[in-house]
Structure 1
Amino acid sequence: MRDTVIYAHRGLNHAAPENTLAAFAAASRSGVTWIETDTDILADGTAVIMHDSRTDRTTNRSGSIYDLTTSDLDTIDAGSWFSGDFVGERVPTLRELVSFLGPHDLNLNLELKGNTQGRDRSIRLVETVLEELRRLRPGTRVLISSFSPLLLAEVHRRTDAYELAWLVDKGTIGEDWRSVMELCGATALHPSTAVVSNRCVVEEIRRAGFGVNVWTVNSVQEANKLVNWGCTGIITDIADQMVEAGRRR
């Protein structure tokens, strides 16, 4: 795995609460150079780092993120559910994450969540994300991914500054996958392990000229198999172990 990109899924989420600056710092300390994370927007248009559209699972707050504004983040604890060592950990904004990446030498795989609030809010999400990413330190690499090819196409329509990747699971990819990717400007496919069930699938995608970054791979043995098949990246909850395995090869 020495030449394979290892993406720390929601940061080093077994060492710190997912999608927090603590989890991203833990990833950096372990030698990871890429993190994977998620973004959506609050009621006031602020882009935040959170996987779910509700706060219930990963904070001390209950309810939809679409009802929150930036000032509400000061009252939300995103760490105590994980461990007493992280009481008071904040839900970071995308702006805070952008400022964090450069000093920690991290590159970013940013997943645009499928906003459920309609067209205008989805467009606002794309606009806000692109505005914030313009603040990145030169040299920081960015890969924008999404399960929504429409969101990817909207990004592609506005800029060619970032690589794009289409996220798929077994029930969301059809025989027209190549057409979808070309239409939305994606250069990589991010399939689940269920999609890349054999070497032939990976080889077909690679022959078409696309990268293949697989999620969520939590076994070094499985990762080695996928790399041997030709996968270009591994999205994992155990990025530190994957990096260490790569060093030993």
Structure 2
Amino acid sequence: MNYRLIAHRGYSAVAPENTLASFQLALEKQVFGVEFDVHFSADGIPVVIHDSTLDRTTNGCGNVAEKSIAQLQSFDAGSWFDSKFARETIPSLEQVLNLFSSTKIKLFIELKSPQFWSKSERDYLIEILAPVRDRCVIASFEHKFLTQLQLDYPQFNYGYAVSNQTQYSPHYLEALNPNARIILPHFSLILEQPSLTKTLQEEGWKIVTWTVDERAIAQQLSEFGIVTIITNNLLNTEPLPENSS
């Protein structure tokens, strides 16, 4: 069984995260999937950026949600990484989807601060994602929001991102949503709790782990049957060994 690599915010080891340049480079690597983050602009357009503020990854400042799409796309989102990416801007969700429209690449879409979105924003997001429904996973750390979204739009796949031991539990997850079957834990939770990992797998959970940048950790995970991993830089190595189990 081969590793299935998911490019974290695009090919973010060699290009500025969550930009079209980063996604284009991931596409050229023929990755299994890409992961990226979505916020809404002040005028109701979903945009692809990780932070709720502009300061870290652009030459702008302030909150993403307080800027219009025109304002957001006027900022330089690439020079912080390397001057050769100075033309990169914050892409809209539609721009990113268009880039992958003719591919079979899986899309792992993390919703940021969705509990503050209006119903019209939620509906618009679902409308935009409808054409890629069969190959996208809508993920979030906001579990109650995600459960409600699945109740409203059950035709999509949903993934529960977890970062602590309390949440890495079938009892916790099934209490939230008995129909959920995709979990995205930090890799340390898998390595620390192998018996629980086995239980989740036996109960039919699909496990996608983040963010793995060391080959040795990838190999450890494969020993538990975990081969779908989100990574920044393993795309730039020789092919990972096949899982021998």
With normalisation by structure 1, the TM-score equals 0.88
122-131 or 75-84: which moved more?
Answer: 122-131
The count of aligned residue pairs is 242
Shift of 1:182: 3.0
Identity percentage of aligned residues: 28
The Cα offsets for residues 193-248 of structure 1, whole Å up to 9 and x where unpaired, read as 23211421210111121011111111112112112202251111124146821579
Shift of 1:88: 1.7
* Alignment correspondent of 1:128: 124
Is 1:90 the counterpart of 2:89 in the alignment?
Answer: yes
* Alignment correspondent of 1:146: 140
* Alignment correspondent of 1:73: 72
Q: Is the 8 A contact 1:189 1:211 kept in 2?
A: yes
Q: Where in structure 2 are the equivalents of 1:1-249 lying within 5 Å?
A: 2=2, 4-115=3-114, 118=116, 121-136=117-132, 141-170=135-164, 173=167, 176-180=171-175, 182-183=177-178, 185-196=179-190, 197-241=192-236, 244-246=239-241
Shift of 1:107: 2.1
Q: Is the 8 A contact 2:168 2:185 kept in 1?
A: no
Q: Is the 8 A contact 2:181 2:206 kept in 1?
A: yes
Q: Which amino acid aligns with 1:113?
A: K
CA gap of 1:36–1:97, structure 2 versus 1, over 3 A, is same
Q: Which runs of 5+ in 1 are unaligned?
A: none
Q: Which amino acid aligns with 2:149?
A: V
The separation in 2 between residues aligned to 1:243 and 1:110, in whole angstroms, is 27
Please state whether the residue corresponding to 2:97 is helix, strand or coil: helix
The Cα offsets for residues 159-206 of structure 1, whole Å up to 9 and x where unpaired, read as 2332111000116616532424534x4221111123211421210111
Q: Is the 8 A contact 1:32 1:243 kept in 2?
A: no
The separation in 1 between residues aligned to 2:154 and 2:96, in whole angstroms, is 22
Q: Is the 8 A contact 1:166 1:181 kept in 2?
A: no
Shift of 1:28: 1.1
The separation in 2 between residues aligned to 1:82 and 1:73, in whole angstroms, is 18
Please state whether the residue corresponding to 2:188 is helix, strand or coil: coil
4+ residue segments displaced more than 6 Å: none
The separation in 2 between residues aligned to 1:30 and 1:248, in whole angstroms, is 20
Q: Which runs of 5+ in 2 are unaligned?
A: none
CA gap of 1:231–1:218, structure 2 versus 1, over 3 A, is same
Q: Which amino acid aligns with 1:131?
A: E
Please state whether the residue corresponding to 2:208 is helix, strand or coil: strand
CA gap of 1:202–1:171, structure 2 versus 1, over 3 A, is closer
Please state whether the residue corresponding to 2:23 is helix, strand or coil: helix
With normalisation by structure 2, the TM-score equals 0.89
